[in-house]
C-alpha cells in the first residue's frame, strides 16, 4: 500500500489531498475520455459514457461501504451546509423536536438551521470543555418521539471523533460524516441518513453524498421546493438536473483507489498507523506539544495541537512551510496547529511530519 510522494506534504483540512494515482489517471483521460474524443467535462450527463461513470460510482460506494439494499445513494450539490437545512425541512415538522449532539462548530451550524423549521434541542454538549471530548453513547438524553437525532461524526476544528455510535432505536439517527466518511468500516444500518461533502475523503469539492433509508424518503415532507426534496433526486438517480459530472467521475476514481488498496479495513489500518506516528510525538514530547482532544476522543482524521510555548508556534509553522508541509495552521477560530490525515495523505507524509516535529523540539528546547 505504498503511495507516491509529491513535492509537498498536503495536510489541508479541505479541500484536501487526493491520491496521486487518481490525479494522474484524470490527467491522462482529461482530453479524451475512454475514446469518446471529449473530456469528461464535455460529455452530456445523459450520454451512455457518463451514465456508466455515474452508476459505477454509486455501485462501488454501496459495495465498499456495505450499504444495505433499503438505502438510496444520492449525489447532490450545496455541500454539507445545505444539508443543515434540507434535513429539518424534510423531517422536522412545526411543533416537533429533534435532538442535536453539540460537539463543535458544524453541529452548531446545523442546530441553528433547524431552528427555522421546528424545535431542535441539545441532546448533549461538550462546549464546557472546549469540545475536547465526545459524549458517551449512554449519556445522550433524547425523546422517543423525536423526529431524529443528529450528530457530527468527526470534528475537524477540535480534532475529536466518535469511536462508537449510539443505538437510537426507532428514532432516526442522522450523521454529518463529511470529514471521516469511508475512513473505516461502520454499520450503516444504524443510521437513517448519512451525509458528507466529498472534499475530504471522497474527491474534489462540489459533490455531496447522501445515504438515506428508503422509509425516511417515503415519510419526508413533500411540500417543499423540488430541488430541496430528496425524493426528486432519488427518483431520477441524481440526474434530475445536470450533476457535477467531473466531481462524480473523480469520486468514482477515488473509490476505485480505495478498492485497490484493499477496501475500508485496509484504509482504517493505515489511518491508525498514520495518526499514531504524530500522536506518539505529541505524547512523548513531555508537554512541548499539547494535544487538544482527550486521548479517548482523538480523531484519526484531524490531529489538533498547540506548542506549550506559544511564542514558538509561528516559528514552527514557518519552518514547517519551508520544509514542504502545507495546511498545518489550526482553524482560525481556535489557532494552534492541525494535521489533517485523510485517506489520501500517505504514511510517508505523516512519518516526515513526525520526524520534523521531533527535530523542532530538539532544536528549540
- Tell me, yes or no, whether 12 lies in a domain: no
* Final residue before a domain boundary, out of 209, 242, 259: 259
Give the per-residue pLDDT at 121: 98
**292 shares a domain with 226:** no
Does some domain include residue 3? no
Residues 311, 284, single domain; the answer is: yes
pLDDT score of 4 = 52
Closest CA to 21 of 346, 314, 350: 346
| Same domain (yes/no): 47, 147 | yes
Among 303, 297, 314, 298, which residue's Cα sits nearest to residue 353?
303
- Residues with Cβ within 8 Å of residue 37, at least 6 apart in sequence: none
Q: Are residues 275 and 318 in the same domain?
A: yes
Q: What is the pLDDT of residue 1?
A: 39
Statement to judge: residues 214 and 276 lie in one domain: no
H/E stretch holding 305: strand 302-307
Asked whether residue 85 is domain-assigned, the answer is: yes
CATH number of the domain residue 296 falls in? 3.90.1150.10
**Is the dihedral angle over the CA atoms 186, 188, 189, 194 positive or is it negative?**
positive
Mean pLDDT by runs of 10 across the 365 residues of the chain is 68 97 97 97 96 98 98 98 98 94 98 96 97 95 96 98 97 98 98 98 98 97 97 98 98 98 98 98 98 98 96 97 97 93 97 98 96
Whether residue 137 sits in one domain with residue 38: yes
155 and 40, same structural domain? yes
Whether residue 236 is found in the same domain as residue 275? no
With 0-12 / 13-18 / 19 or more C-beta atoms within 10 angstroms meaning exposed / middle / buried, residue 165 is middle
136 domain-assigned: yes
Assigned domain for 17 exists: no
Total tally of structural domains belonging to the chain: 2
Task: Give ∠ CA 342-348-353 in degrees, rounded to 5.
Answer: 80
Q: Would you say 313 and 306 are in contact if contact means Cβ atoms under 8 Å apart?
A: yes
Q: Are 40 and 33 within 8 A, CB to CB?
A: yes
- Compute the distance between CA of residue 303 and CA of residue 275 in angstroms, rounded to an integer: 7
Distance of CA 305 to the CA centre of its chain: 20
Quick check: is 4 in a domain?
no
pLDDT of residue 98: 98
Residues 36 and 171 in one domain: yes
pLDDT (0 to 100) of residue 7: 82
Instruction: Give residue 59's domain range.
Output: 23-259
pTM, full prediction: 0.96
CATH number at residue 184: 3.40.640.10
DSSP per-residue string spanning 209-265: EEEEEHHHHHTS--SS-GGG-HHHHHHTTT-SS---HHHHHHHHHHHHHHHHHTHHH
Q: Does one domain contain both 199 and 295?
A: no
The residues with which 150 forms a beta bridge, in sequence order, are: 100, 174
Q: Which of 225, 259, 293 is the last residue before a domain boundary? A: 259
Is residue 7 in some structural domain?
no
d(CA 317, CA 179): 23
In this structure, the answer to whether residues 224 and 283 fall within a common structural domain is no
Q: What is the DSSP letter of 298?
A: B
- Residue 185 resides in a domain: yes
Q: Residue 97 corresponds to which cell in the numbers above?
A: 423536536
Active site residues: 106, 176, 200
Amino acid at each position: 500500500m505504498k503511495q507516491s510522494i509529491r513535492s509537498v506534504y498536503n495536510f489541508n483540512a479541505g479541500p484536501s489531498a487526493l491520491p496521486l494515482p487518481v490525479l494522474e489517471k484524470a490527467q491522462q483521460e482529461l482530453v479524451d475520455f475512454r475514446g469518446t474524443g471529449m473530456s469528461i467535462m464535455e460529455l452530456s450527463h445523459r450520454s451512455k459514457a457518463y451514465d456508466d461513470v455515474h452508476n459505477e460510482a454509486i455501485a462501488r460506494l454501496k459495495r465498499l461501504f456495505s450499504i444495505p439494499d433499503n438505502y438510496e445513494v444520492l449525489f447532490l450539490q450545496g455541500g454539507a451546509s445545505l444539508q443543515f437545512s434540507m434535513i429539518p425541512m424534510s423531517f422536522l415538522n412545526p411543533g416537533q423536536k429533534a435532538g442535536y449532539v453539540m460537539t463543535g462548530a458544524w453541529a452548531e451550524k446545523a442546530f441553528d438551521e433547524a431552528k427555522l423549521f421546528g424545535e431542535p434541542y441539545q441532546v448533549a454538549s461538550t462546549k464546557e470543555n472546549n469540545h475536547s471530548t465526545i459524549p458517551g453513547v449512554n449519556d445522550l438524553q433524547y425523546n422517543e418521539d423525536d423526529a431524529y437525532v443528529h450528530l457530527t461524526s468527526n470534528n475537524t476544528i477540535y480534532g475529536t471523533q466518535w469511536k462508537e455510535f449510539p443505538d437510537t432505536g426507532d428514532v432516526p439517527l442522522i450523521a454529518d460524516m463529511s470529514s471521516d466518511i469511508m475512513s473505516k468500516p461502520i454499520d450503516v444500518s444504524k443510521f437513517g441518513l448519512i451525509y458528507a461533502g466529498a472534499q475530504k475523503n471522497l474527491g474534489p469539492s462540489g459533490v455531496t453524498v447522501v445515504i438515506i433509508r428508503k422509509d425516511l424518503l417515503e415519510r419526508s415532507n413533500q411540500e417543499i421546493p423540488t430541488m430541496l426534496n430528496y425524493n426528486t433526486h432519488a427518483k431520477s438517480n441524481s440526474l434530475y438536473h445536470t450533476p457535477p459530472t467531473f466531481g462524480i467521475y473523480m469520486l468514482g476514481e477515488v473509490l476505485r483507489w480505495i478498492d485497490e488498496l484493499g477496501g475500508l479495513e485496509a484504509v482504517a489500518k493505515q489511518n491508525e498507523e498514520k495518526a499514531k506516528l504524530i500522536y506518539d510525538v505529541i505524547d512523548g514530547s513531555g508537554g512541548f506539544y499539547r494535544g487538544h482532544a482527550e486521548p479517548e476522543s482523538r480523531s484519526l482524521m484531524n490531529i489538533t495541537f498547540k506548542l506549550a510555548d506559544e511564542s514558538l508556534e509561528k516559528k514552527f509553522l514557518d519552518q514547517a512551510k519551508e520544509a514542504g508541509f502545507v495546511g498545518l495552521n489550526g482553524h482560525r477560530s481556535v489557532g494552534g496547529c492541525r494535521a489533517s490525515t485523510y485517506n489520501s495523505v500517505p504514511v510517508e507524509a505523516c512519518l516526515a511530519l513526525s520526524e520534523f516535529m521531533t527535530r523542532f523540539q530538539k532544536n528549540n528546547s
